Copies of this chain bind each other. A is one copy, B any other.
Amino acid sequence: MGAAKSSCQGFLHYAFDYETPKTLVVPSIAAGVVFRFTQLLILLYLVGYVCIVQKAYQDTDSVVSTVTTKVKGYAVIKGSANTSSPQFRDVADYVIPPQGDKSFFVVTNMIVTTNQKVSHCPEIPKPSTLCNQDSQCTTGLEDLRGNGVRTGRCVNYSDTVQTCQVLSWCPLEEDTGPNKEALIDAAENFTLLIKNSVTYPKFNFHRRNIMPHINSSYLKTCVFNSSTDPHCPIFRLKQIVSDAGEEFQVMAVEGGVLGILIDWTCDLDLWASQCLPKYSFRRLDDNNKSHVLAPGYNFRFAKYYKSPEGTESRTLIKAYGIRFEVIVFGTAGKFSMLPTLVNLGSTLTFLSLVPTVSDWFLLTFTKKRGVYSKHKTTHLRDEDEEDEDENKQSVKEKCFYCSLDWFVI
């Protein structure tokens, strides 16, 4: 045998000799049962919890969505129907903004102040605006809780009350709170069409809430009902509010924010065709009156007019109403190699702990633990080594671990 051949052989032995642990087979039914039972538990966890409950073999993606909305309906303002100037509102009047966004506001109540012009007028009476003489009204004071810049004059608000004069849009809005009954109470019968298209970009999956298999004549007449018509995209506002646990006519007085939640959580592995939207409704603002700053929901906007002479006037509307927000959420899962292997790997780690548990059981609780231990474990005693290193530290061995020579290798 030449040297080259020998070194070749050495390398090959190094690379391809197979080293395998020696094992002992113990006919202990108890240890065997513990071993198999623990394995079974972990497999059950893997199959039951990791695979079935958590679907950990799936990669997930979040929904990307587009929503367009369209409200229909009209209303005569309460109490105006039989007057000489009935007030009529349709969708162009009460939906703000008009362009069919996923968040829109339906006016249900309002305080209208017509024909405001920038001029001088007395402040609304309240402790800080009452006055008897001009000196109580500081010129130019901009009280952020007031309505305008003081001119420095104290003028008659009524026959008995004098307040500081301000530069503002006059006459000032007399905000005594919303009407106790909503002016546009017919809003509860308005209908809302929601068109929602979703995408899971990672899986290149597209879907719409108006399913192609749904009959179009059905779509033209249906109204959403969570039990009988759960896939109809047309909603009655009253139904939405009541499904959220609120009463429309109560909510309409001061306004509020109402979430229309569309849940697109889907399993795209087997049941992609079952990937359907689930609608739910929840009031999003705080209606606990005692804790609330500025309860309800309202805002002010104006319509501007110009007289033939060119002076600008406006109609100020403090609009109370319900803001509807369509909130689309959801996560889709689909089989993917990486999470499967990561989760499988993690679970298999626990399988590799089973022998540790079983060994501990075998060597601690079985009757014949002495026999098993003797065959399983070989104790390499210091004396054994001495056979080969006979001339070495015989003292040290007496207290192998009790001297400072410990860390001598």
Contact = CB atoms under 8 A, between A and B. Distances in A.
Contact of A409 (B20, B348, B367): B367
Contact of A347 (B56, B64, B345): B345
A372 B380 contact: yes
Given A300-B91, A345-B346, A17 B23 contact: no
Interface-central residue, A142, A208, A286, A380, by most chain B CB under 10 Å: A380
18 contacts: A12-B400, A16-B33, A17-B26, A17-B32, A18-B26, A20-B23, A20-B362, A24-B380, A30-B409, A56-B338, A91-B300, A97-B99, A98-B299, A100-B297, A193-B293, A345-B349, A365-B409, A368-B385
A3 interface: no
Interface residues of A, number: 159
Interface stretch (A127-135, A243-251, A350-358): A350-358
Interface string A195-206: 101000100000
A26 B380 contact: yes
A267 interface: no
Given A305-B305, A323-B99, A375-B378, A88 B118 contact: yes
Interface string A291-317: 111100101111111111010011010
Contact of A407 (B33, B219, B398): B33
B24 A21 contact: yes
Contacts of A12: 29, 400-402
Given A308-B308, A345-B347, A378-B24, A201 B91 contact: no
Given A15-B32, A293-B220, A66 B345 contact: no
B5 A70 contact: no
A16 B1 contact: no
Contacts of A8: 401-402
A181 interface: no
B23 A299 contact: no
Contacts of A353: 348
A126 interface: no
Contacts of A367: 408-409
Contacts of A314: 92
Interface stretch (A73-81, A154-162, A270-278): A73-81
B88 A286 contact: no
A93 interface: yes
A305 B306 contact: yes
Interface string A209-251: 0101000100110000000000001000000000000000000
A88 B20 contact: no
- Closest 3 A/B residue pairs (Cβ): A345-B346, A16-B32, A12-B401
Interface string A136-168: 000010101001110000000000000000011
B73 A144 contact: yes
Contact of A88 (B13, B168, B305): B168
A51 to B, nearest CB: 11
Given A144-B189, A338-B50, A345-B350, A28 B18 contact: yes
Nearest to A86: B167
A212 to B, nearest CB: 5
A86 B380 contact: no
Interface in A8-55: 8-9, 12-13, 15-33, 35-36, 45, 49-50, 54
